[in-house]
Structure 1
Amino acid sequence: MTMPQLVFVHGWGCGPDIWEPVLKALNQPSACVLDLGYFGASQSDTQQRLDALLQGPRPVLAVGHSLGFLWLLSRGDWPKGTRFLGINAFGRFAAEEDFSQGVPPRMLARMQTGLQRDAVQVVNNFRARCGVGPVTPDALCVPALQNGLTDLMTLDARSVLARLAEKPGALKVLAGRLDPIVSPDMTQASFPPGMAVEWEAEGGHMLPLTHSHVCAEAIRCMMLQNLENS
């Protein structure tokens, strides 16, 4: 029986600290928490840890918040048996011809321009919309934040999700009905038709912080599923 390796990735404008309440509820000190470097963490270290997971013998339970979920799906070939949990997640973010529910690309382009002028204002405006507190200017890594916005503009994992949805138990999604960043319409449109989304009626964009026990319970269920199927 193989316990999956737990991996967590945060969304844009946030850091690994968003997972602290979930990890505490799970009592999982050995979980791997990757850092996308928006506040200066080493990206070569993140890449090394990711490479080790992709090449490792164990299946992974990959838990992504917002952009973190899309980032995980876009990393290539995960070990056999890997499962994905998306929290406040999406398979695509920017609107395009066949995805009118997405965010207009010009909004993301405006944020990219704004990062060059006043990065802390752009990040803290976004964090305020999400319902989290401000960060200080010295904490920011602007190139990483720019890369994150480019990912939000360009990444599209809908075909990956369509394949995952065919495998029972390989994919689970938690979403907030009151999410100001990812609307319910956008959530449903970016996942395969018929995909069951678990909705939190009072949930916003920061379910790992506001509904940490719900997130932890979803992770526990998926870990037990892994054991039953191994």
Structure 2
Amino acid sequence: MSGLQPVFVHGWACGPEIWHPVQAALGVTDWLSLDLGYFKAPTHQPQSVAATNFLATQDKQPKLFIGHSFGFMWLLSQCKIPEGSRFVGINAFGRFAATQGYEHGVPTRVLQRMQVGLSRNIAQGVNAFRARCHLPEVTEAICQPAALHDGLEFLAQGDVRPSLPPLVQNKSLLVLAGAQDPIVTPALTEAAFPAGVVCHWQAQGGHMLPQTHPQFCAEHIRTFL
């Protein structure tokens, strides 16, 4: 590809495994997947590192940052972005929750109900969300409550929209979206990014493009680079 090391960041209530189809489709070997710690990690996860460890040891080499959903907002807010880096947001957004002047965001009450649901029954709350994404259920034993609650709080408050215009101006941002996404709707996608962003739509795609349409993702990433 371009010589930039790909760094993948998954979304809320997911894990690094969502990227395996895209990584295979890209045919690259020198990649990293960051684990945001929502679930106890399997014993063998090659090239997967805890997000906190990555932040503590991050070097100044430019990267190709690829974020899914919440993972895109997280990486723009947390990572020290080396000059020359490029970004791909898949089912992504600059802000998730609605606020004044941003009515297409998800109402805060929805996120509050999700927090209450997690507090009552963490596996049930997580699996209700995963079912909307057509992901398999997880067990309570692997759930990490603190990380899941913190992630939801960040979804309610996080906002990286001010960081996006320079990326669009420098042509260093690609957005891939699903026209059938029930979580990040087309209206939310359009509101969440500035005018002029390069956005490609998968007409039949839902919220898990890395799983359902890995070739679509890989082809657009290659063209972008």
Taking structure 1 as the reference length, the TM-score comes to 0.90
AA in 2 matched with 1:37 = G
Which residue matches 1:13?
13
Identity of aligned residues (%): 50
More moved, 142-151 vs 1-10: 1-10
Query: Does residue 95 of structure 1 match 2:98?
Result: yes
Structure 2 residue corresponding to 1:115, chosen from 102, 105, 118: 118
Query: Does residue 52 of structure 1 match 2:57?
Result: yes
Distance 2:53 2:79 in 1: 15
Structure 1 residue 5, shift from structure 2 partner:
1.6
Question: Residue 168 of structure 2 contacts residue 197 of structure 2 at CA under 8 Å; is this kept in 1?
Answer: yes
AA in 1 matched with 2:184 = V
Question: Residue 94 of structure 2 contacts residue 164 of structure 2 at CA under 8 Å; is this kept in 1?
Answer: yes
Greater helix proportion: 1
Give CA-to-partner distance per residue, 1:28-56, whole Å, 9 cap, x none: 232100000000349x9421223333xx2
1:2–1:57 distance in 2 versus 1, CA, 3 Å: farther
Residue 78 of structure 2 aligns to a residue whose secondary structure is coil
AA in 2 matched with 1:5 = Q
Give CA-to-partner distance per residue, 1:124-149, whole Å, 9 cap, x none: 11011011111111110010000110
Distance 1:161 1:137 in 2: 37
Which residue matches 2:33?
33
Q: Which portions of structure 1, spanning 4 or more consecutive aligned residues, are displaced by more than 2 angstroms?
A: 27-30, 50-53, 218-222
Query: Does residue 146 of structure 1 match 2:149?
Result: yes
Structure 1 residue 13, shift from structure 2 partner:
0.8
Q: CA RMSD in A?
A: 1.8
Unaligned runs of 5+ in 2: 43-48
Distance 1:216 1:193 in 2: 24
AA in 2 matched with 1:29 = T
**Matched pairs, number:** 219
AA in 2 matched with 1:197 = C
Which residue matches 2:46?
none
Structure 2 residue corresponding to 1:75, chosen from 68, 74, 78: 78
Which residue matches 2:182?
180
Residue 74 of structure 1 aligns to a residue whose secondary structure is helix
Distance 1:122 1:20 in 2: 25
Taking structure 2 as the reference length, the TM-score comes to 0.92
Which residue matches 2:220?
218
1:45–1:68 distance in 2 versus 1, CA, 3 Å: closer
